[in-house]
A and B are shown apart, each in its own frame.
Chain A
Amino acid sequence: MIEFLQIILSFFVFFLIITVPINIFNSKLLINKKFFSIDVASFNLILNCNILLLLSILPISLGSYNLFYIFCYLFIFIYIYFIQNYNFNLYKNFILFLSIFFVVFLIISANVAVELNLGWDAKYFYYIKALFFIENQNFSDLNKFTYNDWHPHLGSYFWAFFWNLMPIKFEYFGRLFYVFLFCFSIFYVCHNNLRDKFISHIIFILIILIFYMYERFSGLQEILIFSFLVLLSKYFLLLEDSKNKYYVFFIILGCNLMIWFKAEGIAYSIILILLLNFSRSISNKIKIYANTFYISILVLKIIIYKTSNITLNAQPYYLDYILNLDFEFIIYKFKFIISYFFYYALTNVLFISGIIILFTFNFKKKNDNYIKLLNFYFIFNLIFIFSAYLFRDMEIEFSIRTTMERIIFTSSGFYVFLIVNFFQRLNKNFLRY
């Protein structure tokens, strides 16, 4: 029972991550610019994940600051919501609004607490990396770990951060943050503001009901990239509608997180930056700033890896191999890639629904900028998936069978908002607020 109470406690800890440091009800900086509170909550989330990223690479052991960090957040929370501003009715409505989110989080968390089984890669990479932080080692110590070079550390750091934070220190409490991220991202794209919208709640639960499988939360990192793709996909539409540059900033911060989650995060982040460049809603000046900001982030990552003696990427891609691929072998590989791609695409409800809706709207709304961006995403995503397997120096069938399902799943994140919006506004103006 104590464990169950701690699951509830963990929700409130995660809740701080979306409510602090920017007041989600009364931020003069953002609300005045027509941002709904739930948008500000998503900004808080991205901002805080970036702060955690920064902390993760500092040469300080996790145990020495993570409790202090959360207490600081608790203090800020009390200050900005109860001392600086207090509005009982607004808070009551907000809590009622979030109750569905809380219940869904609780149901998934209970499942994670009982299933417990870690995914194959989690046992090889991510759990052990999380253990490094739990055992008070820091980022630069990761170079001792042979498999460290395969994937970045940020997901493992989140895992360790919240695992170590709880009074009862069981590893799965760290993974509950993944559950929270996932639930919040779906909740965010299903709701436009804090008004209790019945249809939004229904879509939220239905998506989770159709989508949910425990394996996504078994310590694998795909769920993190998926969740941020879900969030950022909505930013792209809001950017098209509002032309507000804040979204550009938070898209790049989201990309920054993705490159620290998994090796393929860099591919997704590049695709999103390309989409920004194709967007008609931002000026060329902003595009130059955005590209410079993104390149700086990449350079910074390289510098951090070099100074910590960590190999940037150990994935099996070699120039020699790529140059020596003969035509017959390429065709041989393509046969496998195409067959399995169709199989996994057809078995992923979100991916296939997203593509069908996208194709439908290509015929109906040819001039919609957001649909055009989604078309670009679809094309770049296909190029990425095909080239990832074509150029990978690994036995093709084994490689595909062990990873393609997860890549399709990750990619489907960007279509979730399209699907939600389609159902929300089935008979209304599609893709308009």
Chain B
Amino acid sequence: MLNIKKKTQIVVLLILIIAFSIKTNFFNNFIQISLYNFDDRIINRYGYCSDESIGYLLYLKKKYQIKDNPKIVNYIHTPQVNWAIINTEIINKNSEKLILLNYPGSEIRIDLEKNNQNLFEFNDVKFFSNKFDNIKSIEVFNYSKIFEKIKWKLDIVKIDKSRNKKNVKTFNIEGFLEDSLKVELDLFFKNLNLGEEKLYFKIRNISKFENIQLQIVLKNKYILDNFKIIDKFDNCYYVE
């Protein structure tokens, strides 16, 4: 017979173990491991054709016996996903084939983040710069309820990690500004030579307009019409 002290100790330990089980969701985890196989759990965690789309990559790897390291372009900013199907024996070689995940179409619109009245930041520019060819145009959205002819200067500025500024290019924004005004830029990323720099859009002579938003249009580097589609699921593609 266990004495009272020993019994109490066991009960206390059990309570703590149960508390830890609840914290880690142990009972649910146990059911998941018992009911769902590893691949299902991976899809559940990473998505099939969403976010990292590891489910689709594993499906492709299995169906097409992929061992040639096709280049993978994921249009959602996640950690790199090539780990799911990489062949380390030829790690530095990419085949001619391409896997496009979460493909947004030939163009994408990005809202710039407003830092202050006339300074706008292109967040995550490095991520977009290797998936899109150029900044095709910029659109000014006017929420100021002032409608008049404008003659602004738009400076595109790079700031590096040591806070050095460099004016990349200046554009004129001219015209009658009602609700919005679109200006063609055709600014190629390859000409921006972006490393770890941040990219800002600064408008001069904007003083009256306090409530302005900027949106840019990027042109995709990969146009589906130029490829042969091998496999497709939603907006995930395996092409060559």
Q: Is B20 an interface residue (CB 8 A)?
A: yes
Asked if residues A131 and B32 are in contact (CB atoms below 8 Å), the reply is no
Q: How far is the CB of B80 from chain A (nearest CB, A)?
A: 6
A79-127 with Cβ < 8 A to chain B: 100, 103-104, 107-108, 110-111, 113-118, 120, 123-124, 127
Give every chain B residue within 8 A of A116 (Cβ-Cβ).
41-42, 45-46
Give every chain A residue within 8 A of B162 (Cβ-Cβ).
329
A162-177 with Cβ < 8 A to chain B: 170
Complex CA gap A4/B31 in Å reads: 10
Instruction: Take A3-B38, A123-B79, A329-B162 as given contacts and tell me if A131 and B29 are in contact as well, using a CB distance cutoff of 8 Å.
Output: no
Give every chain A residue within 8 A of B28 (Cβ-Cβ).
114
With beta carbons under 8 angstroms apart, the residue of A113, A123, A132, A208 that contacts B20 is A208
Asked if residues A127 and B83 are in contact (CB atoms below 8 Å), the reply is yes
Asked if residues B20 and A209 are in contact (CB atoms below 8 Å), the reply is yes
Give every chain A residue within 8 A of B38 (Cβ-Cβ).
3, 170
Chain B residue at smallest Cβ distance from A199: B9
Q: Is B23 an interface residue (CB 8 A)?
A: yes
Complex CA gap A180/B83 in Å reads: 25
Chain A binding surface, main DSSP class: helix
Give every chain A residue within 8 A of B19 (Cβ-Cβ).
209
Complex CA gap A110/B30 in Å reads: 6
Give every chain B residue within 8 A of A202 (Cβ-Cβ).
12-13, 16
Q: How far is the CB of A163 from chain B (nearest CB, A)?
A: 12
With beta carbons under 8 angstroms apart, the residue of B26, B92, B163 that contacts A144 is B92
Q: Is A407 an interface residue (CB 8 A)?
A: no
Q: Is B62 an interface residue (CB 8 A)?
A: no
- Chain A: interface residue count, which band? 35 or more
Give every chain A residue within 8 A of B191 (Cβ-Cβ).
none
Q: Is A303 an interface residue (CB 8 A)?
A: no
Q: Is B3 an interface residue (CB 8 A)?
A: no
Q: Is A198 an interface residue (CB 8 A)?
A: yes
Q: Is A274 an interface residue (CB 8 A)?
A: no
Give every chain A residue within 8 A of B170 (Cβ-Cβ).
none
Complex CA gap A356/B80 in Å reads: 40
Chain B residue at smallest Cβ distance from A209: B20
Give every chain B residue within 8 A of A118 (Cβ-Cβ).
79, 83
Asked if residues A113 and B29 are in contact (CB atoms below 8 Å), the reply is yes
Asked if residues B91 and A124 are in contact (CB atoms below 8 Å), the reply is no
Asked if residues A132 and B88 are in contact (CB atoms below 8 Å), the reply is yes
Give every chain B residue within 8 A of A137 (Cβ-Cβ).
88-89
Give every chain B residue within 8 A of A110 (Cβ-Cβ).
24, 26, 29-30, 33
Task: Provide a sorted-by-A list of 16 A–B residue pairs whose CB atoms are within 8 angstroms.
Answer: A4-B30, A4-B33, A104-B20, A110-B26, A110-B33, A116-B46, A118-B79, A124-B79, A124-B80, A135-B87, A137-B88, A144-B88, A205-B20, A209-B20, A214-B24, A395-B196
Q: List A residues at the B interface (Cβ < 8 Å).
A: 1, 3-4, 100, 103-104, 107-108, 110-111, 113-118, 120, 123-124, 127-128, 131-132, 135, 137, 141, 144-146, 170, 198, 201-202, 205-206, 208-209, 212, 214, 329, 332, 393-396
Q: List B residues at the A interface (Cβ < 8 Å).
A: 9, 12-13, 16-17, 19-21, 23-26, 28-30, 32-34, 38, 41-42, 45-46, 79-81, 83, 86-89, 91-92, 161-163, 196
